[in-house]
Copies of this chain bind each other. A is one copy, B any other.
Amino acid sequence: MNLDLNTLRAEYEQYKSSGLKLDMSRGKPSTQQLDTMERLLTAVTTREECISENGVDCCNYGGLDGIDESKRLFASMLGLTMHEIIVGGNSSLNLMYDTIARAMSHGVVDGMKPWAKYDKVSFLCPVPGYDRHFAICEYFNINMINVPMNEDGPDMDIVEKLVAEDETIKGIWCVPKYSNPSGITYSDETVRRFARMKTAAKDFRVFWDNAYVWHDLTDHPDYLLEVLHEAKKCGNEDRFFIFASTSKISFPGAGISCIASSRANVQRILKELAIQTVGPDKLNQLRHARVFRTFDDIKAQMGVHLSLIKPKFELVRRVFTNELSGIPEVWWTNPNGGYFLALYTPKGKAKRVVALAAEAGLKLTPAGATHPYGYNPDDNIIRIAPTYPSLDELGKALPVLCCCVKLACAE
């Protein structure tokens, strides 16, 4: 592996002058992927078609929990029942934000204080993790505590110890399947430990962001144990707020989302939603339910996405293997699904790589974004989001990225 500084500098300057301009900072589906969902645009085109299976006119007011068709769809996707589901609008992030906002102002357990009334509220944040989760905590002044991720999920010895001892810990962020950004899926044992662990705070909640529940990249996908069933066995079903969406199944900007939880939590949330809104956009829920009549329709669509995304992840691996193999401390994750992989650099080099890439016209996710407060003390992780660029663009961008990694290592 040639890490001669002068050679790399010359190579880098050449890339810099080549006029590359590409944004790989977010996990966005490509235009081509969206094109495969065109039929959603004509799923409901007449007023007659606007009536749900229960006779609800989806154009008019009413219905806080969403229409039955869309509840059934999410229930089948998540392995839950309809009464454990509330279907919302186009942003599951908004559902997560709302859930935290309500917890802050009104708490999550009848008779207990709103979180904002405690002197200190803390969240466990498995790292590397998702910057938008951390941003919500930061906005609400929730103290974030890093927890390391292992190959089978967050380090549960640490999680169990902390939540058992520290009453200020009210929650934890989880992306249990194809975790953002490393692509790890929680093992059955990790899921079971979440379900049964003892928490000092009686109003402790797990924010289970199942964003990539069916977003496989291989024919041998990961399996995630359904957590609410496990929790019920331990009487802890109120502990879990589960989130999912069709953002990366249909349209990211115009999909539908859901929050799932115990019956008691669903009833509690619906009472609060009655204050908050006149209800979700039922018409868009109906469009989705008409296009995705069963879970099999979802799986078929995910197969289409897989065919478009898989070559991009394969290209990343091929180029990384060719260009970066053998550089000390440089390695990358190899997920079976999701939208990201994590590229590890030597300590103290990730920010430099991102800066070099930006200067060469390649925008990456900021290097600290994988950690609370945007601060990775090791400065060694870069989130790679290969889905949005075309294969051709990716083919041009990856050598630039690799050059930046090598140059940063050589410097």
Contact assessment for B252 and A278 in the assembled complex, using a CB-CB cutoff below 8 Å: yes
Binding-face segment, A5-13, A24-32, A302-310, A328-336: A24-32
CB-CB < 8 A to A253: which residues of B?
57-63, 278-279, 281-283
CB-CB < 8 A to A97: which residues of B?
275-277
Kindly provide the distance from the CB of A290 to the nearest chain B CB, expressed in whole angstroms: 12
Asked, given contacts A58-B253, A62-B253, A281-B281, whether A90 binds B93 with beta carbons under 8 Å apart, the answer is no
A319 within 8 A of B: no
A33-52 interface mask toward B, CB cutoff 8 Å, 1 = contact, 0 = none? Answer: 01101100110111101100
Within 8 A of B (CB), among A265-305: 272, 274-284
Asked, given contacts A45-B42, A60-B28, A104-B105, whether A91 binds B279 with beta carbons under 8 Å apart, the answer is yes
A116 within 8 A of B: yes
A135 within 8 A of B: yes
Q: When chains A and B are docked, how far (Å) is the Cα of A326 from the Cα of B136?
A: 60
CB-CB < 8 A to A91: which residues of B?
277-279
Interface size on A, residues (CB 8 A): 56
Contact assessment for A29 and B60 in the assembled complex, using a CB-CB cutoff below 8 Å: yes
A139 within 8 A of B: yes
A376 within 8 A of B: no
Within 8 A of B (CB), among A204-256: 247, 251-254
Q: When chains A and B are docked, how far (Å) is the Cα of A302 from the Cα of B94?
A: 32
CB-CB < 8 A to A63: which residues of B?
253
A89-114 interface mask toward B, CB cutoff 8 Å, 1 = contact, 0 = none? Answer: 11101100100010011100000000
A140 within 8 A of B: yes
CB-CB < 8 A to A104: which residues of B?
105
Q: When chains A and B are docked, how far (Å) is the Cα of A26 from the Cα of B63?
A: 14
Q: When chains A and B are docked, how far (Å) is the Cα of A239 from the Cα of B28?
A: 38
Determine the residue in chain B with the shortest Cβ distance to A274: B135
A134-159 interface mask toward B, CB cutoff 8 Å, 1 = contact, 0 = none? Answer: 01100110000000000000000000
Determine the residue in chain B with the shortest Cβ distance to A89: B89
Kindly provide the distance from the CB of A130 to the nearest chain B CB, expressed in whole angstroms: 12
Q: When chains A and B are docked, how far (Å) is the Cα of A257 from the Cα of B278?
A: 12
Interface residue from B29, B136, B254, B275 paired with A282 (Cβ < 8 Å): B254
> Sorted from nearest, which 10 A-B pairs have the closest CB atoms?
A254-B283, A59-B251, A94-B277, A61-B252, A90-B281, A139-B275, A91-B277, A97-B276, A34-B59, A91-B278
